[in-house]
Structure formats: structure tokens, C-alpha cells
Amino acid sequence: MKKSYLIVAILMIAFIGGCASTRVERVKPEEAIDLSGRWNDTDSRLVAEEMIKDSLSRPWLDSYVTKNKKQPTVIIGTVVNRSHEHINVQTFTKDLERELTNSGQVQFVASKGEREEIREERTDQMIHATEETAKGIGKEIGADYMLKGVINTIQDEEKGTKVIYYQVDLEMIDVESNIKVWFGDKKIKKVVERRRLGF
């Protein structure tokens, strides 16, 4: 008798699984959707927006403009992921770049990897492009400041409830003097509950 119940239960599970379908719904990219509770695109975008806004409102920017009569040139350095999760740091740094560039308050220069590719293009132009259109070597603009940072997490869990605490620390460093002209942090705390399904 027990064996027949077991067979029926297995067949029902197989039937339910076989009836499963995939549904796709398009949503706005800026819409916040949390499925797992882990760091996601919304966290990346909001943290970048808030931290760059804070950075550009601080005295270092006005001081530079007043002294030099021009906008400072900024480059993104390394943002280190020291969290317990795999975080796509490149997406986060691109969010930072976008916010800095679109602010119109600073000039933004290409990162180290991007510069190498552009330098190869200039070298190629010196050989293959016309003299009038070939771009010269040694005309790059050096960065005045470098933005660096780190992402940390603390995680606590008990009986299906998890608390994830993120802290993002960024600092703006004067490339010439190594003086840290701005330091900012952003904290995010998420409570994730995993409910058990009962039959």
C-alpha cells in the first residue's frame, strides 16, 4: 500500500514538473527587483549615483577649480571586492564612470586597459593613416585625481533568515601628492527570509 502511494506521489511530481512553463516579462532597467537578496544592478546604480553626487558636492572640487581655473581630470582606479559574494566590479566602475562623466563637473580619462587599446590605435594610425588625420603621440591628458574603493560585506543567518550588510568605501586621491581629498561610504542592509514550502 505504501509503495503505491509512493509511486502516485512520484508521478504527480513528475506531472507537475512536466507542466511547468517559462514566462518572460520585460521590465524597465531601473526597476528594482530583488530575487536572491545579493548585490544586484539596482545596488550598483544607486550606490554609484549617491556616492558620486556626494563626492562632487565636497570642497575638493571647488578648491581645484578656484586654484586652476579649469575642471579636474579624474580616472577610476581599482575597486576591490572583499565581500563574500561574486560581484561584477566592472559594472559598478562603469556606473561610477557614467555618473562622473555625465555630471559635467569633471573631465574623465580612459582607464589603464582602455588606454593601451587607444595607444595601439594611434601607433597603427602613424603607419596607415594620412598625415592630416593621424593622431599624434604624447598628447594624452594626465589625471589629477584617482577614485579607488572597496566593497565589504558582513553576513548573519539564523533559521532561514539572513541579514546581509554591504559597505562600499570610495576615496578620491590627488595623483601628484597622494592626498586623499574625499572619502565616502555607503551602507546597505538587506533582510532575506527563506520560507519552507509545506505539502
Structural domain contains residue 107: yes
Report pLDDT for 16.
Answer: 60
Report pLDDT for 8.
Answer: 59
Structural domain contains residue 27: no
The residue type at 3: K
**How would DSSP label each residue in 107-167?**
EE---HHHHHHHHHHHHHHHHHS-TTTPPPSS-PPPPSEEEEEEEEEEEEEETTEEEEEEE
Query: Which candidate, 82, 52, 90, places its Cα nearest to that of 172?
Result: 52
d(CA 173, CA 143) in angstroms, rounded, equals 10
Burial, 111: exposed, middle or buried (Cβ in 10 Å; 0-12, 13-18, 19+)? middle
CA angle 7, 10, 15 (to 5 degrees): 125
- Domain CATH for 76: 3.40.50
Backbone angles phi, psi at 13, to 5 degrees: -65, -45
pLDDT in tens, 6-37: 665 666 665 565 555 777 676 666 666 666 66
Structural domains of the chain, count: 1
Residues of the chain falling short of pLDDT 70: 1-20, 24, 26-37, 196-199
| Edge-to-edge order in the sheet of strand 73-81 | 107-108, 73-81, 145-158, 161-174, 180-193
Report pLDDT for 145.
Answer: 97
Report pLDDT for 161.
Answer: 87
In this structure, the strands spanning 180-193 and 145-158 are unpaired
Structural domain contains residue 85: yes
DSSP structure class, residue 76: E
Structural domain contains residue 58: yes
Structural domain contains residue 14: no
pLDDT in tens, 113-122: 888 999 999 9
Structural domain contains residue 123: no
| Backbone region of residue 190 per phi and psi (left: phi > 0; alpha: psi in -120 to 50; beta: other values) | beta
Query: Structure pTM?
Result: 0.77
In the three-class reduction of DSSP (H, G, I as helix; E, B as strand; rest coil), residue 52 is classed as helix
Report pLDDT for 193.
Answer: 82
Structural domain contains residue 127: no
Domain encompassing residue 161? 36-112+143-193
Report pLDDT for 9.
Answer: 60
Structural domain contains residue 137: no
